[in-house]
Structure 1
């Protein structure tokens, strides 16, 4: 049974961390996209109701109670849009933070992969030197046997 090097274990842990961070980044991006779509829809509703009120007022007029009711509704909708704008901004910050974590985890993984690669290269060079040394000794012994005969 071969034992894994501590650096390879750290590299595997960094890979798992990056995978988890990638998944979290995807989730916060989905939440942001959903919130942004909702904000866009709310903004369209607000604009549409405002246009309807203007059209009705300019075309036929409207009783004061209906006017007040429409204005109250549009005002309420404006408050919701403003609140949701704050929510979208908070979602964007979450995406930014998750992206920063992902970038840091990716850099960390790349560093570990580089160190593992260097260690493997050094180990391979040691093995090549040992093999060359054994081949030289074998050739020297064979040469001594041939000259002794």
Structure 2
């Protein structure tokens, strides 16, 4: 029975496609999450380096304008870090949803695969019965010919 004539095969093929799509989407989400985390790490590292320069400049003596500039820029970095942390958190939620979707689609595919396997086994049993019936009929005919 072809996939065109077998609804279970059609559903199984469709489920495979959905799993493939969910797998691709999950890969994209994971890559995006990683990129967001890398950007956050870079911002945090840059803030640390800038703060160290600020501390060194303060020890060497700086004027009020330079103090305001350093302080203002660190505040902007803190805002950027907070915003990027929110983006990372949102990306993690999206990745978790993508993982749940992938598991859901995989479980559906497994269910259709189990149905398909049962159908194949049932068709095989029917074919075996048919072959046994034909074999029995052949044996009976041969036995009757030998009797005559």
TM-score of the two chains, using structure 1 as the length reference: 0.95
Partner in structure 2 of residue 116 of structure 1: 116
Runs of 4+ residues deviating >3 angstroms = 1-4
Give the superposition deviation at 1:4.
Answer: 3.3
CA RMSD, 1 decimal: 1.1
Distance, in Å, in 2 between the alignment partners of 1:127 and 1:4 is 18
Give the superposition deviation at 1:30.
Answer: 1.0
Partner in structure 2 of residue 142 of structure 1: 142
Give the superposition deviation at 1:133.
Answer: 0.7
In structure 2, stretches of 5+ residues that fail to align are none
Question: For each residue in 1:88-124, what CA deviation from the matched residue of structure 2 results, as whole angstroms up to 9, or x when unmatched?
Answer: 1000011000000000000000010011001100110
Distance, in Å, in 2 between the alignment partners of 1:90 and 1:115 is 38
Partner in structure 1 of residue 27 of structure 2: 26
Distance, in Å, in 2 between the alignment partners of 1:22 and 1:125 is 36
In structure 1, stretches of 5+ residues that fail to align are none
Question: For each residue in 1:58-83, what CA deviation from the matched residue of structure 2 results, as whole angstroms up to 9, or x when unmatched?
Answer: 2x110110011000000001000001
Distance, in Å, in 2 between the alignment partners of 1:124 and 1:43 is 64
**1:6 is the counterpart of 2:7:** yes
Aligned length: 147
Partner in structure 2 of residue 75 of structure 1: 75
TM-score of the two chains, using structure 2 as the length reference: 0.96
